Structure 1
Amino acid sequence: MTVIIIRVPDELKEKMKKYDINWSEEIRRFIEQKIRDEEKAKLLDEIDSFLKSVPTLERGKATKLVRDSRDSN
């Protein structure tokens, strides 16, 4: 496991001491959630870019293709 050091203002550190909270675990969870959020955003951007590159069909074209396919069997 890697150690990461953060700096916080003295006033904030004093406030943190007042609470029985595992700050390392809270920060670790925050980082994990932030990474998940960023990965989701990146994936959505990739999907959006892909969908923009997909050609659109005129209205009713898909239905016609399905019907034509059924009729040919």
Structure 2
Amino acid sequence: MAVISVRIPDELKAKMKELDINWSEEIRKFIEERVLRAEKQKKLDEIHRLLSGGTPADEGTARKYVRDDRDSN
């Protein structure tokens, strides 16, 4: 497992010591969640980029496909 260091003000460190919180675990969870959000955003940006280069469908195309699907049953 890798180690990272963060500098914080002494006053904040003193306040953290007063609390019964596993700060390593809290920070690890935050970083994991932040990385997941960033990865999701990157994927969404890529999807948007890929879709933006396509030719838009004519108005009513989706409605036609839905109706065709319903009528086929």
Q: Which TM-score band applies after superposition, normalised by the shorter structure?
A: 0.7 to 0.9
Query: For residue 59 of structure 1, what is the aligned residue in structure 2?
Result: 59
Show CA shifts across 1:35-57 (max 9, x none). 00100111111111111011112
Mapping of residues 37-56 of structure 1, within 5 Å: 37-56=37-56
Deviation at 1:60, TM superposition (A): 4.3
Identity of aligned residues (%): 52
Query: For residue 71 of structure 2, what is the aligned residue in structure 1?
Result: none
Query: For residue 17 of structure 2, what is the aligned residue in structure 1?
Result: 17
Kindly name which structure, 1 or 2, has the bigger radius of gyration based on alpha carbons. Answer: 1
Query: For residue 3 of structure 2, what is the aligned residue in structure 1?
Result: 3
Describe the SS at the equivalent of 1:8. coil
Q: CA separation in 2, counterparts of 1:2 and 1:58?
A: 53
Q: Stretches of 4+ moved more than 6 A in 1?
A: none
Output the aligned Cα RMSD: 1.8
TM-score of the pair, normalised by structure 1: 0.78
Describe the SS at the equivalent of 2:50. helix
